[in-house]
A and B are shown apart, each in its own frame.
Chain A
Amino acid sequence: MTANDEEMELKDRLSLIENMIAEGRRTTESWAWTFVFWGLAYYVAIAWTVWDQWPWAWLVTMASAWVLCWAIIRRKHKNQPEPKPATTIGRAIFSVWAAMGVSLALLLPALGLSGRFSQHVFVAIVCAMLGVANGASGMIIRWKAQIASAFVWWAATVAACFGSDDQCTAVFLVAIFFCQIVFGIYGMVCEARLRRQRGAIHA
């Protein structure tokens, strides 16, 4: 073996370590679809609220979306050939989103029941919470696209505090489109690309 071959071999080992560490840490579950799913759920809730003017349309849509999302995840797990291992990063991301979900599930109905609910406050709170969850997740996994998504949510949070009700709704619709639908589809493309990049390692 020449010195050059030896160097190549060592570099190959180093690259193998880097790839495997990244592979192990990567949350290999497919989560990008949930962004699209929740984006559509928000649109359904907004449409229902606008057309029917029923104050509990959001709560009913969100609760139904939770049940449906949970059922899909459960079904996906059941059909998996081998369960994915738990990672500290995965648990950190799950914690951020779960805490956000609990906060919204408590705060928004409480605002409605107390009579202190307003469209501007509602949009600002939801956008801020989604900004926090996306920002934290993006920083944990160092994913620039998700951090960019968080900035869009934060911009929407500020914008929701100003202007008319219609402008507030428009801001929310645009933020949902970019941060849920477009970002979700982009995430699905990235996940599909990752799934194709797998090879075999032999002793």
Chain B
Amino acid sequence: MPELPELNPVIHGKLRLALLSLLIGVEEAEFTWLRSKTGSTDGNLGAQLLKLEEAGYVTVEKKFVQRKPQTLYRMTEAGRQALTEYVQALKQLLGGAIGG
């Protein structure tokens, strides 16, 4: 019987998983947009995004647009790869669970 894969703990957090899934579909996203899509609080969202940034899964860019601060997040190639592997592992685990 093949060994079941481990799930990446950085991605496994529900909010971090939602953030990576959101970012994979867009070129870049503002902090406020991510907040509105996830319904999360500023503090929690900031903390989870920091974890993703530390893992190298997202990059952050801070700039001013019309004198207003803007924080933009982009998914990195490593993040894309990690999410793909996570989904594969999840499907493999589910296959194992369904198969008994």
Contact = CB atoms under 8 A, between A and B. Distances in A.
Contact of B37 (A13, A14, A20): A20
Interface string A101-132: 00000000000000000000000000000000
Given A16-B14, A87-B25, A202 B30 contact: no
Contact of A85 (B27, B44, B91): B27
B90 A203 contact: no
Interface residues of B, number: 36
Given A13-B17, A14-B91, A201-B18, A87 B27 contact: yes
B40 A203 contact: yes
Interface size class of A (residues with CB under 8 A): 20 to 34
Nearest to A20: B21
Given A85-B28, A201-B15, A24 B37 contact: yes
Interface of A: 3, 6-7, 10-11, 13-14, 16-25, 81-88, 198-203
7 contacts: A6-B97, A14-B87, A14-B90, A20-B18, A20-B37, A21-B25, A85-B26
B interface: dominant SS: helix
B40 to A, nearest CB: 7
B21 A16 contact: yes
A82 B30 contact: yes
A7 B13 CA distance: 16
A198 B23 CA distance: 17
Nearest to A89: B25
Given A7-B94, A86-B26, A203 B21 contact: no
B11 to A, nearest CB: 9
B15 A202 contact: yes
Contact of A81 (B18, B36, B87): B36
A11 B91 CA distance: 9
B22 interface: yes
A203 B40 CA distance: 8
A84 B90 contact: no
A33 B48 CA distance: 37
Nearest to B41: A202
Nearest to A12: B14
B82 interface: no
A83 B33 contact: yes
B98 A7 contact: yes
Greatest chain B CB density within 10 A among A6, A16, A201, A203 is at: A203
A201 B38 contact: yes
A14 B93 CA distance: 11
Given A24-B23, A88-B27, A82 B13 contact: no
A-B pairs, 10 with minimum CB distance: A200-B39, A24-B25, A20-B21, A25-B25, A82-B32, A203-B15, A85-B26, A24-B22, A85-B29, A7-B97
